Amino acid sequence: MRAVGGTARARGGTASFDVERVRRDFPVLRQTVHGKPLVYLDNAATSQKPQSVIDSLARYYSEFNANIHRGIHRLSEEATRAYEHARSRVRGFINAAEDREIVFVRGTTEAINLVAHSFGRAFVKPGDEIVLTAMEHHSNIVPWQILGEQTGARLRVVPIDDEGQLMIEEIEPMLTGKTRLIAVTHVSNALGTVNPIARIAQLARRRGIPVLVDGAQAVPHKRVDVRALDCDFYAFSAHKMFGPTGVGILYARSPWLEKMPPYQGGRSMISLVTFEKTHYAQPPYKFEAGTPDIGGGIALGAAIDYLASIDFDAAAAHEHEVLAYGADRLASIKGLRLIGRPRERAGVLSFVLDGVHPHDIGTILDREGVAIRAGHHCAMPIMQRYGVPATARASIAFYNTKEDIDALVRGILKVREVFG
């Protein structure tokens, strides 16, 4: 994939980021919807895919489709090499220490469930506590509730303020000898709030408490260094970061992977099976039961290669500029209220419009070619915190432009016309 650079075009690129050239890498962005050019602002739900990722997936199925690790024929060997190369690419992408700390799963949700089940089964007992925050996605709430029901542990929740920021001063008093884990989102999918993970990990490290981070909304927007963050577990999904659906990653420090029991049984997670006893494979394979999404894993590697081919820092700066422009434009609309105004925000603008249900906003915007999300965003406690049933959410990626924001604003003004 060629490097992207050059002079910015009029459509909103920064000086070192040519957004028009990048947009040409994403075939879906060329289409029209209801006769209007597509404006895709639903990136927090899933991102679009560059042609190189699509080609990678097609190449696997058309040239070397085979199962991995145990085959001795050429196709299997080639598939295995490509899949394990993708694991190495992920390790480098998040600066993990070893490839063995990278576990392939189906997505962020399965990664968190793996930790809740495996870590929880081994280390959580009645009366223990798991610390969460009030801005978690359901995927970082429900698994811990299930664990609590099974073990007798309970959840403690760090509150957020009216601006949508974590009240971090509330964390340390919650940490006691009963605390077994802190589970926190890196970036809120409903507010865009960026949480100070390294600071939270520092508080936890003083008491020997492990930290799990839901990174699904962070990896498309920020450089993530798991060793600098000093977290024990970091979960994310390929499809949020320009890769395929059905593939995700759990990063876990090697000592935890050694001590945690398997999450599922079967296939390559074993080294020896008898009816008397099963011996498990070494991590990460101990946690990778069954045939994985091989093509998807390889395509995740291609997505990382694509991100390496552009100036990611310039892309992030461009995206931040578009996001700030969007916040200003939306705030100027009469009757529109942005939900959350955190000091540091990534990717997300959630809002409500007086007298209009978010689903109606989304429906009318769709007729204008603008794709957003409307609902509770699998973050119902946040909706309850702000006293709203749902929000409309526009979410930004680096291929979005200020013109996309202008189209969003025109669409919202059309909504106001329809509803008076």
Show which residues are catalytic: 378
Amino acid at 73: H
Burial of 45 (0-12, 13-18, 19+ CB in 10 A): middle
* C-alpha distances in Å from residue 290, one per residue of 102, 307, 368: 17, 29, 44
| Element (DSSP H or E) covering residue 383 | helix 380-386
Contact 414, 356 (CB under 8 A): no
The total number of residues written for the chain in this structure: 420
Residue 380, Cβ neighbours under 10 Å: how many?
A: 16
Residue type, 232: D
As a whole number of angstroms, the distance between CA 137 and CA 190 comes to 8
410/57 Cα distance (integer angstroms): 37
Q: What are phi and psi of 46, to 5 degrees?
A: -165, 145
DSSP 99: G
What is the SS3 assignment for 394?
strand
| Concatenated DSSP letters of 238-251 | GGGGTS-TT-EEEE
> Residue 309: which residues within 8 A CB-CB, separation 6 or more?
1, 2, 3, 4
Distances (CA, A) of 224 to 105, 194, 219, 236: 19, 12, 6, 11
Q: Please check whether residue 269 is in contact with residue 285, taking contact to mean a CB–CB distance below 8 angstroms.
A: yes
Residue 88 half-sphere exposure toward CB, CA atoms < 13 A? 6
* Apex 246 CA angle, 245 and 248, nearest 5: 100
Tally of CA atoms within 13 A in the half-sphere of 349 that contains its CB: 25
What span, in angstroms and rounded, lies between the C-alpha atoms of 262 and 288?
Answer: 9
SS3 sequence of 20-79: HHHHCCCHHHHCEECCEECEECECCCCCCCCHHHHHHHHHHHHHCCCCCCCCCCHHHHHH
